[in-house]
Every structure is written in structure tokens, then in C-alpha cells.
Amino acid sequence: MLAQRVPNAPEDTEVIVVCAGQPANLPAMQRTLRYAQLMLAPAGTTIEELRVLALAQASGDIVTLVSGAESQPNAVVDRGLARP
């Protein structure tokens, strides 16, 4: 589950979850990730497009991207600057 891949973040941390299509477990995600902004993109949206959507929504300069895609056995984490 995605909640296990997102670490317990400090209160001032912004967490944005972007899904391609409506996930079957949306109510559970909303309960578990109450502190997160949940965004739904059209089904078929690529991981790269989802990342762009999340970065556009983020207000901070430093981001960590975690892929919760089911096709990936382990989370992929990218760290970097959102904006120059």
C-alpha cells in the first residue's frame, strides 16, 4: 500500500498523491493519507506525466518522488530540486 511507502512526515511537509484514473482503494487512501493532497488524473496518464502534475502542485523547492505503481516491486525514489 502507498501509505507504507510514504514515510511519517513532519507536520510542515507537503504530501501530494497523483493517481492515473480512480483507484479502487480511494476511500482507504483518503482515510490513511488524511494529510495528503490527492489528485486524480485521467486513466492512462504516464508516470512521467503524473510526476509533472505533482511537481506543478508542489509549493516547495525540494521534492522526493515515490512511485507506487503496482508494476514496480520496489518504490522508486528520486530526490531533487523542483525548481531552479
* Per-chain mean pLDDT for the chain: 76
> Is the sign of the CA dihedral 61, 77, 11, 18 positive or negative?
positive
pLDDT score at 15: 83
pLDDT digits (tens, 9 = 90+) for 22-51: 888 888 888 888 888 889 999 999 999 999
pLDDT digits (tens, 9 = 90+) for 5-22: 665 666 777 888 888 998
Which three-class secondary structure string do you get for 22-81? CCCCHHHHHHHCCCCEEEEECCCCCHHHHHHHHHHHCCCCEEEEECCCCCCCCCCEEEEE
Phi, psi of 16 (to 5 degrees): -125, 125
* Cell reading at 67: 512511485
pLDDT digits (tens, 9 = 90+) for 45-76: 999 999 999 999 988 877 777 776 655 444 44
